[in-house]
Amino acid sequence: MFSKLKEKIGLFIIAWRCLYATIIGHRLENKPFDLQTTKKRALYLILSRLKAYGKSCKDFCSERKYT
């Protein structure tokens, strides 16, 4: 149960970072406040983290295949 909570917290942290970057960009650089772009950025970051984790698991398994 605790591991699922950690995963959810990780997703919220990524989403918050993207939302915060959008808010700051809107305030400081007068960029448009676009939640669709923020959502796409968050999903891209989550997907890239999952791919990186999958690659590390694959590398771990292939290194220890015949040991």
Kindly report the pTM of this predicted structure.
0.75
In order along its 67 residues, the chain shows pLDDT tens digits of 567 888 899 999 999 999 999 999 999 998 888 999 999 999 999 999 999 999 988 888 888 877 7
Backbone angles phi, psi at 32, to 5 degrees: -70, 145
Q: What token pair was written down for 65?
A: 């295949």
Name every residue whose Cβ is closer than 8 Å to that of residue 17 and which is 6 or more positions away in sequence. Answer: 45
* CB atoms near residue 35 (< 10 Å): 10
